[in-house]
Amino acid sequence: MTPEFGRAPECGGGIVSPDRKGWDMSWLLVFFGASTLIALTPGANNLLGLHHGMGHGLTRALVGLLGRLAAFVLLIAAVAAGLGQLLAAWAPALTIVKWIGVAYLVYLGVRILIEARRLLPAEAAPVPGRSAVGVARKEFLVAITNPKAVLIFTAFVPQFIDPAHGPVPAQVALLGAVYLLAEFLAGTVYIVAGTLVKAARMSLRACRNLDRGTGVVLLGMAGLLAGSRT
């Protein structure tokens, strides 16, 4: 069930005291901590960030991360405009988003598996890297077609909103900004991990196996998403 606006989370008597007005830093810190844990959870975008860090380097992978954040900004804007609950309540909308996401994850997984077979030996000419815009586009499409991301902003974020503490759109904007920070930090962790793997100069076989593993996991995520109930 989608939470209603105006319900503050219940934790030790409430994160936000009903007798106080304005923002409570402990409330924001709890939200940031919870958001960071959610953002760090291995998922399609984080796995893609790891892959981009390995294949495209730190700079282009970080630019690609902006594509993911841009998708989340759109979702936050939808929630602030009051469209989030409508989207979550209309089952066909989430179903459509889910199957688009499944199709795109299958496409990415198959493509990465094919690229793994085409890896060239170290002495051969390097494969041209994907542009930063292309990397960002991938991140954006994976994020915007993930119904789990939609539910983060339509079910998780509203738990921390209380109309007694100011206009709801302003609270959504603030919480959205905090979540974007958590997502940026989590995405950076995966990207840096990918660049460290690249810097280790692993053998061709190891690189192929990592890419194959990435492709297989993406296909597995597509299967789990297809079988999930949204």
| pLDDT of res. 230 | 55
C-alpha closest to that of 118 among 201, 220, 198, 215: 215
Q: Is the pTM of this model over 0.85?
A: no
Backbone torsion region of residue 70, taken as left when φ is above 0, otherwise alpha when ψ lies between -120 and 50, otherwise beta:
alpha
Evaluate whether 160 touches 9 at the Cβ level (below 8 Å).
Answer: yes
CB burial string 196-223: b at 16+ within 10 A, e below:
ebbeeeeeeeebbebbeebbebbbebbe
Tokens of 82: 């009051």
pLDDT in tens, 166-217: 787 888 889 999 999 999 999 999 999 999 988 877 666 776 777 777 778 8
Amino acid at 98: K
The pLDDT value given to residue 54: 87
What is residue 183's predicted lDDT score, i.e. its pLDDT? 96
What are the tens digits of pLDDT across the range 8-52?
A: 444 443 444 434 445 567 888 889 999 999 899 888 899 899 989
Q: Give me the pLDDT at residue 60, please.
A: 93
Residue 7: the pLDDT is 43
Region 133-145 average pLDDT: 91
Q: pLDDT band for 163, please (50, 70, 90 cuts).
A: confident
Residue 147 has pLDDT above 80, yes or no: no
The model's pLDDT over 72-125, given as tens digits with 9 standing for 90+, comes to 999 888 877 776 666 556 667 667 777 877 887 788 788 778 876 765 444 334
Residue ranges per structural domain of the chain: 33-227
Look at 120-134, 136-150, 151-165, 174-188 and tell me which has the smallest mean pLDDT: 120-134
Q: What is the pLDDT of residue 89?
A: 62
Contact 230, 155 (CB under 8 A): no
Helix (H) or strand (E) holding 172: helix 168-199
pLDDT at 88: 58
The residue among 159 and 39 whose pLDDT is bigger is: 39
Residue 125: the pLDDT is 40
- Is the pLDDT at 4 greater than 60? The verdict is no
